[in-house]
């Protein structure tokens, strides 16, 4: 009896690992639930939308990797306690569960204050309610589980751990499925990254055209004219297909740039569709042109503002 009540290295790392992975899983789950709520109930005051769903991706990855480890460790602890009931009296066990109850209580209070502060600051009522429910459900399950565990004795076996060990995975799995539904597949994210690179290439080409105009007072006849061995600029190609981007020289200082996109990306802002004729953007010095695009071939009409970008006078060296 005496030796079984001593904390062994195995006991320490089992309980420490289980509690740490439990904390990590809880934070990831709440983060994922918050992101899902924010996606389904968008607030027009929050104009920024991460096109790659970075927060959702990290939360899902954490739950897929860390949560099964947490469940496995708690199952090992349960099996160890069944084989040696005296280990239910370990001081380490009681301290860790008591500390978790304390942390959970503080987290509930802190999250409640933060969410209420956001609500009083104009947060949508639906988003506020759903986030509060998410915190209560996740933190409440952990609080309940630890409270039951800390009261467990060798002569009073607990019958609710199985419900927690089966119910929690179901909740996590449902959240992960919803997360994938919001985020899209890895192939979708890859397509968005390719499209983002295309937009970046077109922006680079656009400013090279502006520079060409300022230096020579005319637009290039083709993109090949932009090659500059001195500055080292080489006209980029489509990152996936390796094909050249389209350039059409218009009248005066007007020109059109086109590319073949894989996904619609309304977060980028405005443009014109298949026929490159529609809303014409003036190339400004502030880089605020619209780069909205739909899937497929999409064109952007631009006109250089000669007042903002005047032709530079030729400097004579004597």
d(CA 196, CA 15): 45
Task: Tell whether 212 and 251 lie within a shared domain.
Answer: yes
pLDDT for residue 11 is more than 90? no
Q: Are residues 178 and 194 in the same domain?
A: no
Confirm whether 316 is domain-assigned. Answer: no
Number of domains in the chain: 2
Choosing from 184, 205, 221, the residue where a domain stops is: 184
In-domain check, residue 265: yes
Are residues 121 and 144 both part of a single domain? yes
What's residue 271's pLDDT? 44
In this structure, what token pair is assigned to residue 230?
A: 């001195």
Claim to verify: residue 260 and residue 128 sit in the same structural domain: no
Q: For 137-195, how does the pLDDT look when each residue is reduced to its tens digit (9 = 90+)? A: 898 888 888 888 887 776 655 555 566 666 788 889 999 998 888 877 788 888 888 99
Measured distance between the N- and C-terminal CA atoms of the chain, rounded to whole angstroms: 100
Residue 179 lies inside a defined structural domain of this protein: yes
Say if 315 falls within a structural domain.
no
Looking at 184, 211, 236, which one is the last position of a domain? 184
Higher-confidence residue of 5 and 19: namely 19
| CB neighbours of residue 70 within 10 Å | 22
pLDDT digits (tens, 9 = 90+) for 87-114: 877 888 888 888 988 888 888 888 888 8
Q: Are residues 173 and 253 in the same domain?
A: no
Residue 311, domain member (yes or no): no
- Domain assignment of residue 61, yes or no: yes
Surface-to-core class of residue 22, CB atoms within 10 Å of its CB (0-12 exposed, 13-18 middle, 19+ buried): buried
pTM over 0.75: no
Look at residue 314 and tell me if it is in a domain. no
Instruction: Clarify whether residues 213 and 172 are in a common domain.
Output: no
| Domain extent at residue 269 | 188-304
17 and 144 both lie in a single domain: yes
290 within a domain of the structure (yes/no): yes
- Is 307 exposed, middle or buried, given 0-12, 13-18 or 19+ CB atoms closer than 10 A? exposed
- Mark whether 16 and 136 lie in a shared domain: yes
Last-in-domain residue among 162, 184, 206: 184
Confidence class for position 239, pLDDT limits 50, 70, 90: very high
């Amino acid at each position: 009896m005496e030796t079984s009540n001593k904390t062994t290295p195995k006991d320490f790392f089992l309980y420490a690992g289980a509690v740490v992975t439990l904390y990590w899983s809880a934070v990831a789950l709440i983060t994922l639930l918050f992101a899902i709520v924010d996606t389904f109930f968008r607030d027009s005051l929050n104009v920024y939308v991460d096109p790659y769903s970075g927060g959702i991706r990290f939360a899902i990855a954490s739950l897929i990797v860390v949560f099964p480890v947490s469940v496995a460790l708690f199952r090992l602890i349960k099996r160890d306690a069944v084989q040696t009931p005296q280990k239910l009296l370990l001081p380490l066990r009681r301290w860790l569960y008591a500390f978790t109850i304390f942390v959970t209580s503080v987290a509930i209070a802190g999250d409640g204050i933060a969410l209420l502060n956001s609500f009083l600051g104009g947060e949508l009522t639906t988003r506020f309610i759903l986030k509060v429910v998410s915190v209560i459900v996740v933190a409440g399950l952990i609080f309940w589980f630890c409270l039951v565990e800390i009261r467990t004795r060798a002569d009073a076996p607990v019958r609710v751990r199985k419900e927690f060990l089966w119910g929690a995975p179901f909740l996590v799995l449902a959240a992960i499925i919803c997360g994938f539904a919001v985020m899209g597949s890895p192939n979708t994210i890859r397509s968005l990254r390719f499209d983002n690179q295309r937009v970046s290439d077109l922006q680079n080409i656009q400013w090279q055209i502006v520079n060409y105009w300022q230096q020579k007072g005319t637009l290039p006849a083709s993109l090949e004219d932009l090659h500059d061995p001195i500055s080292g600029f080489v006209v980029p190609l489509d990152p996936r297909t390796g094909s050249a981007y389209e350039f059409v020289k218009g009248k005066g200082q007007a020109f059109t740039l086109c590319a073949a996109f894989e996904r619609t990306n309304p977060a980028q802002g405005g443009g014109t569709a298949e026929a490159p004729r529609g809303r014409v953007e003036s190339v400004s010095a502030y880089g605020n042109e619209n780069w909205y695009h739909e899937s497929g071939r999409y064109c952007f009409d631009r006109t250089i503002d000669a007042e903002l970008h005047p032709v530079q006078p030729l400097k004579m060296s004597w």
